[in-house]
């Protein structure tokens, strides 16, 4: 057996990891890297002064985290809010492309992966993007019957209904 250099082993590991990242379930690619990069510039200019360079606030609420992604629920939920209300110095007044790019950046900051499909402001498409599924946020176990469901392990208490199937019109 031929000796493999550490660099080769490292290279293989990186390649395998990259492959795994591409095939991980639930990580549909809904924006491009170029959009996220443009979005970062717009975010830094329009949003970071309150929401923070790391999107963690603290002068305005954090924009990354499981709770944030679950609460906004879909990309439409997030987009419909901030493209109307934000930023306070120019509420709803930025170009649509700027809002779309900022959305791409927020999704990337939450662990979503870029791909070949560009994001656009089509409300139907945005409503179909499940933030919990495409970011690193874990989705609640809504498929299991209420009485049998077990909530995922967590270091903090969860809602009384967590893990239960709730009525939905979605």
Partner 1 sequence: MKKTYLKAALALAVSVTTLVSVAQAQGVRENYAPVTNDMVLNPPAEEWLSWRRTIDNQAFSPLDQINSDTIGDLELAWAWPMADVGIQETAPLMHDGVLFLQTNNNIVQAMDAKTGDLIWEYRPALAKVPAEWGYQLYQSRRQKNSIALYEDTVVLTTVDARIIVLSAKDGKVLREVQPFDVNKGYSYTVGPIVVNDTIISAISGCSIAGTAGGCYIVAHDFNTLEEKWRFNTIDDPNNPEQQASWGDVPPENRWGGTPWATGSYDPETNTTFWGVGMPAPYAELIRGSEDGNVLYTNSTLALDADTGELKWYYQHLPRDNWDLDSPFERVLVDVEEGGETKNLIVSVPGKNGIFFALDRNTGEYLWSQETVVQNVVTNIDEDGTVHLNEELIMTALGEAPMVCTSVSGGKLWQAGAYSPKTQQFYVPLTEACNTVEATQSEFTAGNATGAVKFGPRVLPEGITEAGLVDAIKVGATKSEGEGWKARSRASMTSSLLATAGGLVIGGDAGRYVKAWDDTTGEVVWQQRLNAPIGGSPMTYELDGEQYLVVPTGFSAAAGSIASAFPEIPIPSGTGNSIFVYKLPKQ
* Interface with partner 1 (CB under 8 A): 49-50, 54, 56-62, 64-68, 70-73, 77, 80-81, 84-93, 137-138, 140, 142, 152, 154-162, 166-170
Residue among 8 and 81 whose Cβ is closer to partner 1? 81
Rounded to the nearest whole angstrom, what is the least distance from the CB of residue 154 to partner 1 in the complex? 7
- Cβ(150)–Cβ(141) under 8 Å? yes
Residue among 10 and 128 whose Cβ is closer to partner 1? 128
End-to-end CA distance of the chain: 58
Rounded to the nearest whole angstrom, what is the least distance from the CB of residue 6 to partner 1 in the complex? 34
Q: Where are the alpha helices (DSSP H) in 6-151?
A: 6-23, 33-46, 48-51, 66-72, 75-85, 96-109, 123-127, 131-134
What Rg do the C-alpha atoms of the chain give, in angstroms? 19
How many Å apart are CA 20 and CA 15, to the nearest integer?
9
Helix (H) or strand (E) holding 57: none
Residue among 5 and 155 whose Cβ is closer to partner 1? 155
Question: What residues are paired with 74 via a beta bridge?
Answer: 130
Rounded to the nearest whole angstrom, what is the least distance from the CB of residue 37 to partner 1 in the complex? 23
Rounded to the nearest whole angstrom, what is the least distance from the CB of residue 2 to partner 1 in the complex? 45
Q: Which pair of tokens denotes residue 120?
A: 């656009």
Residue among 72 and 105 whose Cβ is closer to partner 1? 72
């Amino acid at each position: 057996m031929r000796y493999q250099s550490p660099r080769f082993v490292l290279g293989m590991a990186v390649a395998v990891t990259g492959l795994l990242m591409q095939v991980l379930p639930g990580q549909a690619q809904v924006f491009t890297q170029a959009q996220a990069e443009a979005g970062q510039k717009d975010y830094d200019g329009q949003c970071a002064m309150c929401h923070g360079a790391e999107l963690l606030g603290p002068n305005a609420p954090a924009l990354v985290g499981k709770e944030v992604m679950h609460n906004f629920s879909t990309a439409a939920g997030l987009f419909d809010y901030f493209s109307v209300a934000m930023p306070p110095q120019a509420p709803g007044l930025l170009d649509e492309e700027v809002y779309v790019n900022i959305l791409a950046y927020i999704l990337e900051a939450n662990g979503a992966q870029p791909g070949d499909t560009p994001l656009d402001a089509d409300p139907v498409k945005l409503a179909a993007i499940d933030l919990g599924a495409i970011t690193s946020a874990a989705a609640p176990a809504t498929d299991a019957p209420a009485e049998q469901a077990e909530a995922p392990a967590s270091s903090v208490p969860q809602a009384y209904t967590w893990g239960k199937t709730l009525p939905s019109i979605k």
